[in-house]
């Protein structure tokens, strides 16, 4: 049976003209939050951050979407609450990681459903997450959270591990995680990451962790109040990540949640959500299943902007991360159906350039018109220059594939890799 888009039949369409939904810092969502709320009859107010407080990569950014009103938060919670007094606020959500703290504070001030502001940093700081899980007796990576380069290097010298990960503690920071195999690599990565945190004006704390070997999974979760008012967590999607022998991202596949591995991941994640103090909203987490140990949380972040795979899921199944967040914020919205729903096989395939080059027109057309390709990510035009892929951030782009059968997705995945071997990156220079 061919894939068919699923109509969002469960959407609330009754108008609520006197109530509005407040979306805090909805940067990079292309109006997705406003669209989801508006479809349910809820007008939206956007809380924008003062331009001088935005990180450099968002300089000059504007909030897109159908918003009734826009308010600039200048740093004063009292002033922002006063600006909202003209509206009957019925819901508050964070539109990005940058809006988590303020959204939690506004929800508390306005007595709306929200998370405890004291847990805001914990839900997005990967160093604090590891420390908290370890203190609770739950598996977590070994590591150190510190603002001191000397302390980080001393920790690495003491443990003498074969490989490390270096990251900013705050997931709101736009910076790639770095893998290091030597003391020199480690020193360079730590200094570069510290410069980035300083430039973006964010928390200077860095995280140095052991690199865990095992199967990698990404979990989307949503938390809200159940029929009895108790907090309920639900794992909505599980993605299995595959890497090349060189350690580069190959593909991520949507996993059937009924298998033994997904059930193990779900049990672990539900406990993690309780420990992190999540009482409402969505979380996107990365876990590694370590042989002989089980699942280990590497990082969790509160609903980053959607990527292309999320948008394809919305078209095919009527559900994605933003819709989950909106449902959690609006108590009258029905819970996701528990019965049988269409489960297409969806995969996000990273392009991998073995050398610098330019995109070949014929081979590029071949891979972008494959039967299962639903969306192309990146500047994929003939003649565009690409550099050798060293990590996911330097990939030329990605293709989102979807079909009823995994065999069809696998076939087109092989075709993409064949095109790369045949000269996809040896096109004519513009």
Supply the DSSP string of 161-202, one letter for each residue: -S-EEEEESBTTS----EEE-SHHHHHHHHHHHHHHHHHTT-
The predicted pLDDT at position 3 comes to 54
Predicted confidence band of residue 79 (pLDDT cuts 50, 70, 90): very high
Eight-state DSSP code of residue 403: E
The predicted pLDDT at position 17 comes to 53
Query: What average pLDDT does range 7-15 have in this prediction?
Result: 43
Predicted confidence band of residue 8 (pLDDT cuts 50, 70, 90): very low
Token duo for residue 88: 């009957």
Class for the domain spanning 345-422:
alpha beta
Query: What average pLDDT does range 172-185 have in this prediction?
Result: 84
Task: Give CA–CA dist 397/349, Å, rounded.
Answer: 9
Predicted confidence band of residue 304 (pLDDT cuts 50, 70, 90): low
Half-sphere exposure of 98 (CA within 13 A, CB side): 23
The predicted pLDDT at position 344 comes to 86
> Strand, helix or coil at 252?
strand
Query: What average pLDDT does range 370-390 have in this prediction?
Result: 94
Of the candidates 12, 7, 8, the one whose C-alpha atom is nearest the C-alpha of residue 334 is 12
Task: Give CA–CA dist 358/374, Å, rounded.
Answer: 23
Cα 236 to chain centroid distance, Å, stands at 13
The predicted pLDDT at position 360 comes to 96
The predicted pLDDT at position 5 comes to 47
For residues 382-398, b (16+ Cβ closer than 10 Å) or e, as one string? eebebeebeeeeebbbb
The predicted pLDDT at position 57 comes to 74
Domain 16-121 matches domain 142-210 at the CATH topology level: no
The predicted pLDDT at position 98 comes to 87
Task: Give CA–CA dist 427/412, Å, rounded.
Answer: 21
Predicted confidence band of residue 72 (pLDDT cuts 50, 70, 90): very high
The torsion angles phi and psi of 7, rounded to 5 degrees, stand at -70, 135
Domain range summary for the chain, segments of one domain joined by + = 16-121, 142-210, 345-422
The predicted pLDDT at position 332 comes to 60
Nearest 5 degrees, angle CA 179-CA 273-CA 19?
115
Percent of the chain residues past pLDDT 70, beyond the cut: 92
Flag whether pLDDT at 154 surpasses 80. yes
CATH architecture observed for domain 142-210: 2-Layer Sandwich (3.30)
Task: Give CA–CA dist 111/411, Å, rounded.
Answer: 52
Query: What average pLDDT does range 203-232 have in this prediction?
Result: 90
Cα 185 to chain centroid distance, Å, stands at 27
| pTM of structure | 0.89
User: Which tens digit of pLDDT belongs to each residue from 122-136?
Assistant: 998 999 999 999 999
Topology of domain 16-121 in CATH is Rossmann fold (3.40.50)
Task: Give CA–CA dist 260/401, Å, rounded.
Answer: 25
Average pLDDT, rounded, for the chain: 87
Predicted confidence band of residue 10 (pLDDT cuts 50, 70, 90): very low
Q: Which of 77-91, 123-137, 188-202, 347-361 has the lowest mean pLDDT?
A: 188-202
């Amino acid at each position: 049976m061919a894939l068919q888009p699923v109509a969002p039949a469960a959407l609330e369409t009754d108008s609520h003209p006197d109530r509005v939904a407040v979306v805090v810092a909805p940067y990079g969502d292309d109006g997705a939050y406003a669209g989801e709320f508006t479809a349910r009859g809820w007008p939206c107010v956007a809380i924008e951050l003062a331009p001088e407080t935005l990180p450099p990569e968002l300089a000059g950014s504007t909030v897109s979407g159908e918003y009734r009103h826009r308010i600039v938060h200048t740093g004063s919670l009292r002033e922002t609450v006063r600006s909202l007094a003209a509206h009957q606020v019925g819901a508050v959500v964070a539109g990005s990681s940058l809006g988590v703290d303020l959204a939690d504070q506004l929800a508390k001030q306005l007595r709306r459903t929200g998370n405890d502001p004291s847990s805001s940093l914990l839900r997005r700081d990967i160093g604090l997450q590891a420390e908290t899980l370890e203190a609770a007796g739950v598996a977590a990576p070994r590591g150190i959270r510190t603002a001191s380069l000397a302390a980080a290097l001393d920790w690495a010298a003491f443990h003498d591990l074969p490989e490390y990960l270096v990251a900013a503690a705050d997931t709101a920071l736009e910076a790639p995680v770095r893998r290091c195999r030597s003391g020199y690599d480690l020193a360079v990565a730590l200094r570069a990451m510290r410069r980035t945190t300083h430039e973006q004006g964010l928390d200077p704390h860095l995280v140095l962790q052991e690199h865990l070997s095992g199967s990698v999974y990404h979990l989307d979760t949503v938390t809200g109040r159940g029929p009895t008012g108790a907090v309920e967590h639900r794992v909505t999607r599980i993605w299995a990540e595959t890497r090349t022998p060189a350690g580069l991202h190959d593909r991520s596949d949507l996993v059937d949640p009924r298998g033994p591995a997904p059930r193990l991941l779900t049990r672990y994640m539900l406990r993690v959500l309780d420990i992190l103090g999540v009482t409402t909203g969505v979380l996107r987490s990365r876990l590694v299943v370590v042989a002989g140990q089980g699942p280990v949380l590497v990082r969790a972040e509160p609903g980053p902007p959607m990527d292309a795979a999320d948008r394809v899921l919305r078209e095919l199944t009527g559900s994605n991360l933003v819709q989950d967040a909106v449902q959690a914020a609006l108590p009258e919205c029905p819970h996701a159906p528990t019965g049988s729903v269409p489960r297409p096989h969806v995969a996000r395939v990273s392009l991998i350039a073995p050398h610098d080059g330019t995109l070949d027109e014929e081979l590029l057309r071949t891979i972008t018109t494959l039967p299962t390709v639903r969306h192309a990510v990146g500047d994929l035009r003939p003649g565009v220059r690409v550099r050798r892929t060293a990590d996911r951030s330097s990939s030329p782009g990605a293709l989102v594939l979807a079909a009823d059968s995994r065999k069809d997705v696998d076939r087109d995945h092989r075709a993409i890799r064949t095109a790369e071997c045949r000269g996809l990156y040896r096109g004519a220079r513009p």
